[in-house]
Amino acid sequence: MRIGTAHQTYAQAESLLDTNVQRFWLIALFILLAAFPFVADQYWVYMACLVGIHIVTVTGLNILTGFTGLVSLGHAAFMAVGAYTVAVLEIRVGTPFILNLIVGGLVASLVGIVVGIPSLRVKGLYLAIATIAAAVILHFVFANSAFLGGTSGLSMPPAKIFDYEIAQPSQVYWLILPVTVLSVVFAANLFRTRIGRAFIAIRDRDISAEVLGIPLLRYKLLSFALSSFYAGVAGGLWAYFFRVVTPESFPLIYSIFSSRQSSLAAWARSLAAFWAPSS
């Protein structure tokens, strides 16, 4: 039974795809994703769009919880921040949808940094309670702000490329797919860098990581910022997909659901690494 790959150089050990089998299946996956909207009906394309949005947000939560070891139950609130930011920019400013998604992610990351400040002093259950409190506060702001539409929320037009509207699921699919692929590739490369290894060291033992010279506050806040950026972008995609954003679009149960998905993703990644075939 093949259980590993004998790397001859450091570059091989650092590569994302080190076997021909992995490259073959990756190419096959891309071909399948490209052909999917042409062979599937609208229902399955609709479901694929939802899966893509959730992959983005769970990838962000996996950075925070799976690799940095920080518990967050306010992830849905960060998605709401991104969705509302995109909706406001689309309705009142009319900037391009790509810029709106980036700004939505950045605004969510700023909120994530503020929420992540207590992470230096508290962890585990207490950090989870702090993130829930932040989610409740943000929900109150969304529901009581006339600028954001109050409880009725905001209805927004579809994304546009020049004069071409991206409204149907088969069209929005081509907006969600590239963002999903880029988010996963960026996260996979992140943990091959010094920042990613610092996250892992903090997760394994934060006191030992601090002894090794890793500034805990900086990297914890960076993890919150990256995770929230992912959530903000996912929220922006969600807004373009449904074109209606309300305070009830992102309830607390959504955060719990995302946390469960993140745990399943970490388990699946470990299982895949154990059974990965070698060339």
pLDDT by 10s per residue, the chain, length 279? 455 566 666 566 666 666 777 788 889 989 999 999 999 999 999 999 999 999 999 999 899 888 888 888 888 899 999 999 999 999 988 889 899 999 999 999 999 999 888 777 777 778 888 888 888 899 899 999 888 888 888 999 888 887 788 888 889 999 999 999 999 999 988 888 889 999 999 888 888 888 888 898 889 999 999 999 999 999 999 999 999 999 888 877 766 665 555 444 444 444 344 344 433
Question: Based on the structure, what is the number of domains in the chain?
Answer: 1
pLDDT of residue 208: 87
- 277: phi then psi, degrees, rounded to nearest 5: -75, 155
- 165: phi then psi, degrees, rounded to nearest 5: -85, 140
Phi-psi region of 40 (alpha: psi -120 to 50; beta: other; left: phi over 0): beta
Q: Burial code of 157-182, b = ≥16 C-beta within 10 A, e = fewer?
A: ebbeeeeeebeebbbbbebbbebbbe
Asked if residue 5 belongs to a domain, the reply is: no
β-strand partners of 159: 166
Asked if residue 14 belongs to a domain, the reply is: no
Asked if residue 134 belongs to a domain, the reply is: yes
pLDDT of residue 278: 39
Asked if residue 13 belongs to a domain, the reply is: no
Domain that holds residue 180: 48-275
Please give the helix or strand (H or E) that residue 51 lies within, else none: helix 42-61
Asked if residue 38 belongs to a domain, the reply is: no
pLDDT of residue 84: 95
Asked if residue 270 belongs to a domain, the reply is: yes
Task: Return the C-alpha torsion angle 237, 259, 75, 55, nearest 10.
Answer: -20
CB 80 within 8 A of CB 250: yes
Residues 6 or more apart whose CB falls under 8 angstroms from that of 14 comprise 192
pLDDT of residue 259: 55
Single-letter residue type at 157: P
Comparing CA positions, the residue from 255, 253, 243 lying closest to residue 153 is: 243
Asked if residue 74 belongs to a domain, the reply is: yes
Asked if residue 231 belongs to a domain, the reply is: yes
